[in-house]
Amino acid sequence: MRKWFQNLSDAMVDRLVPKAEAAAAVQCWTEQVCSRTMIPMCHQTGFRSLATRRVCSDGTSTWLGSQCANCTL
């Protein structure tokens, strides 16, 4: 019985370790995109805004914010 639990424990560790290593390998960076907006306070920039988001190599992204900007579309 003890050997069976040891084998079960080893099997669980073998399954979890690659996932933990893969999660540690995810890299993230920040992207900014200029876009048109209808936000009234951006009228001085020609209704353009700079959207910022965090993008990761695992395909996830998180919107961080947006601000009025004199940017090029």
Contact 48, 37 (CB under 8 A): yes
Query: What gap in Å lies between CA 50 and CA 14, rounded to an integer?
Result: 45
What is the pLDDT at residue 73? 82
What is the pLDDT at residue 11? 67
Query: What gap in Å lies between CA 71 and CA 42, rounded to an integer?
Result: 12
What is the pLDDT at residue 36? 94
pTM score of the predicted model: 0.58
Contact 53, 63 (CB under 8 A): yes
What is the pLDDT at residue 19? 60
The residue length of the chain stands at 73
pLDDT in tens, 1-49: 667 656 656 766 666 665 656 667 899 999 999 999 998 999 999 999 9
